[in-house]
Amino acid sequence: MQPILRPSPHSETKEIPFEKNCGEDKKCEANLGLSFSPARSRVLHLTPSASLSMELTLSNSGEDAYWVQLSLTFPWGLSFRKVEMLKPHSQVPVSCEELPEVPQLLTRSLSCNVSSPIFKAGSSVVIQVMFYTLLNSSWGDFVNLHANVSCDNEDSGLLEDNSATTSVPVLYPIHILTQDLENSTFYISFTPRGAKVHHVKHIYQAKIQLSVHDHNKPPLEALIGVPAFHSEGLITQEWIVQTEPPVACNSENLERPPNVAEQPCLPGVQIRCPMAFQEEILVQVVGTVELVGEIKASSMFSLCSSLSISFQSSKHFHLYGSNASLAQVVMKVDVVYEKNMLYLYVLSGIGGLLLLLLIFLVLYKVGFFKRNLKEKMEATADASDGIPGEDSGKLASEEEAVDPSRVDLLQKEEAQDGGGAY
């Protein structure tokens, strides 16, 4: 059998003495000071993953302070996450706990022990307190936080700098999605024999969504960029803007930068259309593009329009950034130069006739169209061959030179031979 210790509670309490540094007068007087650091959390963006981080500077300009307590009150929309001492004093201990909720109060409380039991004379530390945000809470325009510090040995006449208050603006999210629709015009072309005028449309749709906890609907403004109006040159253009719901708009000319060739889609005119809050906005940029000159060379360029939605409010922010509220249509304009083919056809016909006439003259010169050409060509071929032609000529001449009397004698002999045979 193995011995088994009987489990029983065992605790022991001991006293650890420490020396109080109270100076020659043996009277310890601390002088604490507390302030919020302005460098952190200028605003609170209410997003699903939002958090709030606050920094407090705690200092002791007097003698050692004993049992320093830091308390912090904050609204119901915040939930305590953690606390830490920032460098270079991260070795100084700090711990916090959230106090039980009191439904009658509009705030919650946090209690912290700092450098217990002694906060040394001349010390200064920075404490960072972090909170989660609860989106299902009721939020105002600001988050108000109040902090207070105390210790066991500070004179009541030195408590004026023991508390601090700060307010953090609350910004509500707005989700704006702007896009161009498929039935927009993305390409047009001009040819010498084609249409001289094109009517084009750039159609945009914007959807705006507020947070479910935000009951403030800010006014909106649609900013439409269109190409500069041109009434001179090869191509002229005019643009008008139509919105749904209809609103009055104002236009202003924009200055073109020197390197405009490198940025062809910069707008030349900006049209502002202020309107009340709408969950959906339709914008049509209608243009008339006309060919007024003679096409002398092919070219291609772009005509661009754009739409962005902004809001007139200092209490809201773009949830996914301002780029999500911007859309642009790039329309290609193709100018096609076509040569006049009639001249080409006429010149080709004339060239063909001249070539045919030249061939006819060459054939005529070589005697292609003269009589007995075939016999002459054969004779020429025989003459070029040499001996065969000469032998045949000699035989023919010899036969023609036979004596006629000899011919008659031969005929008689043949007749007699024939008679003897009978």
pLDDT in tens, 271-293: 999 999 999 999 999 999 999 88
Which whole number is the average pLDDT over 388-405?
A: 48
CATH 2.60.40.1510 fits 32-161, yes or no: yes
Q: Which of 255, 224, 253 is nearest to 240 (CA)?
A: 224
Which whole number is the average pLDDT over 141-152?
A: 94
Residue 136 has pLDDT above 60, yes or no: yes
**Given this model, what pLDDT does residue 6 score?**
59
Q: Which two tokens stand for residue 60?
A: 């002791």
**Domains 32-161 and 174-335 equal at CATH topology level:** yes
| Lowest pLDDT segment from 12-21, 59-68, 130-139 | 12-21
Domain spanning 174-335: CATH superfamily: ntegrin, alpha v. Chain A, domain 4 (2.60.40.1530)
Query: DSSP secondary-structure letter at 228?
Result: P
Instruction: Express each pLDDT in 238-270 by its tens digit.
Output: 999 999 999 999 999 888 766 655 566 888 899
Instruction: Express each pLDDT in 67-104 by its tens digit.
Output: 999 999 999 889 999 999 998 888 899 999 999 888 77
| 3-state SS, residue 408 | helix
Contact (CB, 8 A) for 67 and 152: yes
* Domain map (residue ranges) of the chain: 32-161, 174-335, 348-389
Q: Which of 28, 36, 34 is nearest to 121 (CA)?
A: 28
Residue 392 has pLDDT above 60, yes or no: no
**Given this model, what pLDDT does residue 389 score?**
46
Residue 222 has pLDDT above 80, yes or no: yes
> What's 285-309 look like in SS3?
EEEEEEECCCCCCCEEEEEEEEEEE
| 3-state SS, residue 212 | coil
Q: Which two tokens stand for residue 14?
A: 């001991």
Q: How far apart are CA 287 and CA 329, in angstroms?
A: 13
**Given this model, what pLDDT does residue 3 score?**
57
**Given this model, what pLDDT does residue 232 score?**
59
Which whole number is the average pLDDT over 18-32?
A: 77
**Given this model, what pLDDT does residue 19 score?**
67
Residue 404 has pLDDT above 80, yes or no: no
Residue 420 has pLDDT above 50, yes or no: no
**Given this model, what pLDDT does residue 323 score?**
82
Both ends of the chain: CA-CA distance in Å? 171
Reported as a pLDDT band with limits 50, 70 and 90, residue 422 is: very low
Residue 366 has pLDDT above 80, yes or no: no
Q: Residue holding tokens 């959390």?
A: 41
**Given this model, what pLDDT does residue 394 score?**
47
**Given this model, what pLDDT does residue 415 score?**
52
Residue % of the chain over a pLDDT of 90: 44
Residue 146 has pLDDT above 90, yes or no: yes
**Given this model, what pLDDT does residue 98 score?**
92
**Given this model, what pLDDT does residue 166 score?**
93
Mean pLDDT is highest, among 5-9, 19-23, 184-188, 373-377, for 184-188
Contact (CB, 8 A) for 22 and 150: no
Q: Strand pairing partners for 198?
A: 289
Mean pLDDT estimate for the chain: 83
Between residues 421 and 247, which one has the greater pLDDT?
Answer: 247
Please give the helix or strand (H or E) that residue 385 lies within, else none: helix 373-385
Q: Residue holding tokens 């010899």?
A: 398
